[in-house]
């Protein structure tokens, strides 16, 4: 089944006849909508280009309404207000995405669908899925970092997603510029020398004149990229001590990056963290997502199930 402006795919629907939940991965380029069930099976998916809120939100509501879902889980780009006591709970707040600043994403979808809705950051949703179902299953904590259009991090500690004052924004952590970097200030409109401005996909493209996916593995870009991401990992290890770091997102599809990041992280730590995981098993400590590209959708499904309960 295909809607105007969408690209819908279906599986063999192993969960037919079960309670259905909606999931939304809200991104700056596209909105990915999925249907899942209580057995964490994803049975249908579509994508809608991210236009203005006025044109995009009604399209999403119409797609979900046709499928008679029990509840909706949202993993969204941010910053987003996650305080349930706030008058702007579920709103996209200050964002570089044109037209989306101060947008009531959760309230608009909840009003349109008249069902329970739960929202979190896209990276927190992915972290939740990886902790409950994926690479960090059985652990007490994990950090999920996505490196793509932006850089963001989701954190699970003692089985709970960390929010705090707002929510972690580790992608804007300030890093030490590499002496070989000809653009040491980076490209973030908010901060000079932050991780996102130095190491996101758009930052790589602006620095080297081509998309990261087109750069050959031997290009000098990857040593620089690995160095910045290793700083991010080392800072996270020292500050929050997660039991596993999971690196996802479009840039991390370049698998040759992982060994470089691991080695540079160990070098930066300088033997100070005397953990066997760091010293001898770092290949399983800094790792790929266990759920491949489904982390976000499955995390939003878990949020939807929580909303229904």
pTM, two decimals, is 0.92
Residues 251-290 pLDDT 10s: 999 999 999 999 999 999 999 999 999 999 999 999 999 9
- The DSSP symbol for 115 reads S
Residues 199-247 pLDDT 10s: 999 999 999 999 999 999 999 999 999 999 999 999 999 999 999 999 9
| pLDDT value, residue 129 | 98
Which residue in 93, 109, 14, 7 sits closest to 56, CA to CA? 109
Neighbours of 79 (CB within 10 A): 17
Q: For the chain, list the domains and their CATH numbers.
A: 9-122 (3.30.420.40), 135-288 (3.30.420.40)
Q: What average pLDDT does this structure show over 89-93?
A: 96
Residues 32-61 pLDDT 10s: 999 999 999 999 999 999 999 999 999 999
- In this structure, the dihedral spanned by the alpha carbons of residues 188, 189, 190 and 195, taken in order and rounded to 10 degrees, is 0
Residues 180-196 pLDDT 10s: 999 999 999 999 999 99
Whether the upstream peptide bond of residue 193 has omega within 30° of 0, thus cis, is no
| pLDDT value, residue 161 | 95
Identify the bridge partners of residue 9 per DSSP, sorted by sequence position: 45
Q: How far apart are CA 296 and CA 127, in angstroms?
A: 8
Residue entry with tokens 């160990």: 266
């Amino acid at each position: 089944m295909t809607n105007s402006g969408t690209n819908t795919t279906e599986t063999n629907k192993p969960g037919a006849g079960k309670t259905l939940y909606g999931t939304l991965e809200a991104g700056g380029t596209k909105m990915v909508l999925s249907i899942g069930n209580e057995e964490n099976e994803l049975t249908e998916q579509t994508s809608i280009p991210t236009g203005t809120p006025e044109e995009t939100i009604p399209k999403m509501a119409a797609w979900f309404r046709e499928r008679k879902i029990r509840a909706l889980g949202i993993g969204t780009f941010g910053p987003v207000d996650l305080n349930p006591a706030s008058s702007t709970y579920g709103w996209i707040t200050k964002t570089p995405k044109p037209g989306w600043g101060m947008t009531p994403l959760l309230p608009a979808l909840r009003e349109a669908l008249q069902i329970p809705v739960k929202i979190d950051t896209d990276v927190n949703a992915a972290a939740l899925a990886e902790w409950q179902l994926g690479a960090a299953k059985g652990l007490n904590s994990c950090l999920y970092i996505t490196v793509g259009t932006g850089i963001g991090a989701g954190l699970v500690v003692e089985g709970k997603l960390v929010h705090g004052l707002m929510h972690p924004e580790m992608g804007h952590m300030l890093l030490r510029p590499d002496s070989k970097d000809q653009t040491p200030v980076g490209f973030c409109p908010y901060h000079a020398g932050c991780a996102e401005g130095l190491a996101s996909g758009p930052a790589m493209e602006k620095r080297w004149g081509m998309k990261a996916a087109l750069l050959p593995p031997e290009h000098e870009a990857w040593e620089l990229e690995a160095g910045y991401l290793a700083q991010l990992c080392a800072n996270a290890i020292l500050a929050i001590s997660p039991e596993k770091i999971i690196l996802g997102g479009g840039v991390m599809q370049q698998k040759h990056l992982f060994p470089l990041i691991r080695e540079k992280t160990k070098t930066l730590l300088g033997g100070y963290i005397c953990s066997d995981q760091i010293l001898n098993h770092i290949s399983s400590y800094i790792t790929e997502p266990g759920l491949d590209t489904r982390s976000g959708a499955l995390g939003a499904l878990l949020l939807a199930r929580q909303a229904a309960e």
